[in-house]
Homo-oligomer: A and B are copies of this chain.
Amino acid sequence: MNIEEAAKQLEALGNPTRLQVYRTLVRAGDGGLPVGRLQEKIGIAASTLSHHLHRLILTGLVTQERQVTTLICRANYPAMNSLVGFLVDECCVDAACTTEQDGEAAA
């Protein structure tokens, strides 16, 4: 994971619509979600969703698998794990396990 790749992934997640797409997929779990279902849930134009999905896929944060007539989208957990690893690299690795507000551990 280099800085360019990390920035690309962070930028991909830095758009509210894409972040919502990504979180929806995260919530969907291993089963994933078809593109059409995502569109219903989020309520944006299909072309807009396709565009954002493309960016998420390019950065490796989301994967797609073709089923009979639909494309199933899934969050790529290892990729995000790697990104989080890069973020906490060399600073507050131990604090990374405390997702609560106890901001004392790292400082």
Contacts and interface: CB of A to CB of B under 8 A. Distances in A.
Nearest to A6: B19
Contacts of A40: none
Interface residues on chain A, size class: 35 or more
Chain A contact residues, majority secondary structure: helix
B13 A10 contact: yes
Copies per complex?
2
Contacts of A23: 3
A7 B13 contact: yes
A65 interface: no
A78 B90 contact: no
A8 B13 CA distance: 9
A62 interface: no
A45 interface: no
Contacts of A26: 90-91
